[in-house]
């Protein structure tokens, strides 16, 4: 204890070295690696394998719905705090879930390596879906572990930084390295190797330190439950009904998507359900059930509490365990919504519309990137690895840094609008590639980029691909940095974790739901028409950004007028 105090008292490089030498920091890097590797393999590189196996694009679009596991992980995250696994519970509250998820993911990757993605697409998708669920669960628990183990030496800032380093290294291993290995070894061998790597990570994780919830966290949890039962809060019966309705709507949405996936992937192409019709008919209903109706319920609850209806007038008596579980669920899923609606009022509609549409141009076509590069444009796996992973990641980081710099000069909403506009327009770069890439080739030559690539061992054909990817990734970096800042600005400190998880999950919802229909459109109309469509869709976010910018400026002016009136008074 004295040593820790001595280290924390001496800022600078000695503190950094002490943090890096702490075993918690090492395991944090390992957990960051373990979080990113399955994500890269199941929601990115896997589509390169499916493309090589000649799986049709509509099937890939349906298959990509497994990504909804990451969008809805906030639904089961409260349970992970309160459920213990038989036998594995001996490892500790957090480690039992982390190690179980890692062993499960390793086994799934190995089994996937033995399957034919064409002949066994049903089993293939089922296992990948379970893997996505396990991976999303691991992410939730690793985030909690990081908070639990942080101390004066292994600070939360250092652990977060090291986590990102581990995460980015796994992106390269599961992306670029996997593509290079697949060229010589084949996809089954690559996934077998990656599965073995996850099993080794699981074995190493057995020796990780187990964190304990801090006394402050436990006290805050208890205080939150007590607050729900204080005079002026809504009655337990009303809270239970609201939780049941919202929970039932989210459950219906998950079941609807799951049934569609099973029917689509388990049927012959001629007999499968129409994905375009599903998106057109069920897509709006899913958005209504998971976003619109819960927001309306939250608004009703806010109104009832403000009017004094259905509220407690005396402190609630001691409640049963079932009531405690319901209160935990209400705090986790309903209170964050009521807080947003209570603070934003009618502007909630605009904010939710912006969140749902802002990254749609990226999320809706991202699944088809590998089929586009490898199949349509006929680049090799090595070329795609160099252009998309090594060079593309650098361009993405440049965009993020550029977005951060622009914040200080033009403000958050200006960068948000710029991010939405450039994210939409960069789809035109891929539209050009889909018809030969004459504009990309000319632009690359004009700025000297083609010359640079050729002198580094590439050619003009690779240069125009890298040029297009650079444009999209810089724009995506700006948009991503702007979105993180915007979501952080509209979340309440009291519910920051849940609200941020909920809002960030919604950014992927519409794009993920639309992938099946987009895959069918690519099959029937080609990539060019799809890229023109995604460009047009992107302007929805641009318009909503301008409206939100106007709303925020108006709020600022009104606040200034109120302050001036008070000063004059």
Write out pLDDT tens, residues 163-197.
877 887 888 898 888 988 998 899 999 999 999 99
> How far, in Å, are 278, 425, 457 from residue 517 at the CA level?
8, 22, 39
What is residue 269's predicted lDDT score, i.e. its pLDDT? 64
Q: Which of 300, 264, 296 is nearest to 282 (CA)?
A: 264
Is the Cβ–Cβ distance between 295 and 348 less than 8 Å?
Answer: yes
136 exposure class (CB count in 10 Å sphere: 0-12, 13-18, 19+)? buried
499 DSSP assignment: H
Residue at token pair 């992970």: 80
What is residue 8's predicted lDDT score, i.e. its pLDDT? 41
**Nearest-angstrom CA–CA distance, 335 and 343:** 12
**Nearest-angstrom CA–CA distance, 429 and 408:** 29
pLDDT tens for each residue of the chain, 569 residues long: 444 444 444 444 455 444 555 778 888 889 989 999 999 999 888 988 988 888 888 788 778 778 878 877 777 776 777 778 888 888 888 899 999 999 999 999 999 999 988 888 888 888 998 999 999 899 888 877 877 777 766 676 677 667 877 887 888 898 888 988 998 899 999 999 999 999 999 999 999 887 665 555 555 566 666 777 778 888 888 888 999 999 899 889 888 888 887 777 766 666 777 777 777 788 888 888 888 899 999 999 998 988 888 888 777 666 666 677 777 778 777 888 888 888 888 899 999 999 989 988 887 777 788 888 888 898 888 888 888 878 887 888 788 888 878 887 888 899 999 999 999 999 999 999 999 999 999 999 999 999 998 888 888 999 999 999 999 989 988 888 888 788 878 877 676 656 776 787 788 777 777 877 788 888 888 899 999 999 999 999 999 999 999 998 888 765 544 444 434 44
Tokens of 212: 């304990």
In degrees, to the nearest 5, what angle opens at C-alpha 364 toward C-alphas 362 and 366?
60
Is the Cβ–Cβ distance between 367 and 48 less than 8 Å?
Answer: no
* b/e map 71-100, b = 16+ CB within 10 Å: bbbbbebbebbeeeeeeeeebbbbbbbbbb
Tokens of 257: 């998507």
Q: Where are the alpha helices (DSSP H) in 150-211?
A: 156-172, 178-185, 187-205
Question: How far is residue 244 CA from its own chain's centroid?
Answer: 26
**Which residues have C-beta within 8 Å of that of residue 65, sequence separation ≥ 6?**
257, 260, 261, 512, 513, 515, 516
What is residue 11's predicted lDDT score, i.e. its pLDDT? 42
Is the Cβ–Cβ distance between 57 and 524 less than 8 Å?
Answer: no
Handedness of CA 296, 302, 305, 311 (dihedral sign): positive
Backbone phi, psi, residue 92, to 5°: 125, 165
3-state secondary structure of 487: helix
DSSP letter string, 126-140: HHHHHHHHHHHHHHH
**Nearest-angstrom CA–CA distance, 143 and 155:** 14
Q: Which of 211, 39, 244 is nearest to 141 (CA)?
A: 211
Is the Cβ–Cβ distance between 384 and 533 less than 8 Å?
Answer: no
**Which residues have C-beta within 8 Å of that of residue 125, sequence separation ≥ 6?**
63, 66, 261, 265
**Nearest-angstrom CA–CA distance, 131 and 113:** 13
320 DSSP assignment: P
What is residue 168's predicted lDDT score, i.e. its pLDDT? 77
**Nearest-angstrom CA–CA distance, 267 and 270:** 8
3-state secondary structure of 502: helix
Backbone phi, psi, residue 234, to 5°: -70, 150
What is residue 321's predicted lDDT score, i.e. its pLDDT? 63
């Amino acid at each position: 204890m004295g040593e820790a105090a001595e280290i924390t008292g001496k800022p600078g490089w000695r503190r950094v070295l002490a943090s890096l030498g702490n075993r918690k920091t090492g395991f944090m890097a390992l957990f960051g690696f373990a979080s990113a590797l399955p994500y890269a393999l199941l929601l990115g590189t896997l589509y390169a394998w499916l493309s090589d196996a000649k799986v049709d694009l509509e099937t890939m679009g349906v298959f990509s719905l497994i990504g909804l596991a990451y969008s809805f992980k906030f639904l089961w995250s409260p349970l992970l705090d309160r459920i213990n696994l038989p036998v594995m519970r001996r490892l500790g509250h957090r480690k039992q879930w982390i190690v179980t998820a890692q062993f499960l993911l390793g086994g799934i990757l190995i089994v996937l390596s033995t399957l034919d993605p064409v002949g066994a697409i049903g089993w293939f998708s089922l296992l990948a879906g379970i893997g996505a669920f396990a991976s999303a669960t691991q992410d939730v628990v690793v985030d909690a572990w990081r908070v639990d183990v942080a101390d004066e030496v292994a600070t939360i800032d250092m652990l977060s930084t090291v986590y990102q380093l581990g995460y980015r290294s796994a992106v390269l291993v599961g992306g670029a390295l996997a593509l290079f290995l697949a060229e010589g070894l084949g996809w089954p061998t690559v996934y077998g190797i990656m599965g073995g790597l996850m099993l080794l990570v699981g074995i190493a994780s057995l020796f990780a330190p187990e964190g304990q919830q801090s006394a402050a966290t436990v006290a805050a949890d208890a205080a939150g439950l007590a607050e729900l039962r204080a005079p002026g809060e809504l009655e337990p019966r009303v809270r239970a009904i609201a939780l049941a309705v919202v929970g039932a709507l989210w459950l219906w949405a998950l079941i609807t998507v799951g049934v569609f996936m099973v029917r689509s992937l388990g049927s012959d192409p001629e007999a499968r359900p129409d994905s375009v019709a599903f998106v057109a008919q069920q897509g709006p209903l899913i958005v209504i059930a998971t976003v619109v109706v819960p927001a309306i319920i939250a608004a009703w609850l806010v109104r009832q509490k403000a009017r004094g209806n259905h509220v407690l007038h005396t402190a609630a008596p001691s409640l049963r365990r079932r009531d405690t579980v319901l209160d935990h669920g209400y705090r986790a899923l309903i209170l964050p919504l009521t807080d947003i609606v209570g603070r934003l009022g009618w502007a909630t509609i605009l904010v939710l519309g912006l969140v749902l549409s802002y990254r749609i141009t990226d999320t809706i076509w991202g699944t088809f990137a590998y089929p586009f590069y490898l199949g349509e444009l006929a680049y090799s796996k090595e070329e795609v690895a160099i252009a998309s992973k090594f060079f593309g990641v650098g361009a993405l980081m440049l965009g993020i840094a550029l977005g951060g710099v622009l914040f200080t000069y033009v403000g958050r909403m200006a960068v948000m609008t710029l991010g939405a506009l450039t994210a939409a327009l960069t789809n035109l770069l891929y539209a050009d590639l889909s018809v030969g890439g004459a504009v990309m080739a000319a632009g690359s030559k004009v700025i000297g980029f083609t010359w640079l690539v050729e002198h580094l061992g590439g050619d003009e054909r690779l240069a125009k691909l890298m040029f297009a990817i650079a444009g999209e990734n810089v724009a995506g970096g700006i948009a991503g940095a702007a979105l993180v800042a915007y979501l952080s600005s509209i979340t309440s400190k009291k519910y920051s974790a849940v609200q941020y998880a909920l809002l960030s999950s919604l950014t992927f919802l519409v794009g993920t739901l639309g992938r099946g229909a987009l895959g069918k459109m690519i099959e029937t109309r080609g990539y060019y028409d799809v890229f023109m469509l995604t460009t047009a869709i992107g302007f929805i976010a641009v318009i909503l950004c301008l409206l939100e910018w106007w709303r925020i400026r108006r709020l600022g002016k009104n606040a200034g007028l109120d302050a001036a009136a008070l000063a004059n008074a």
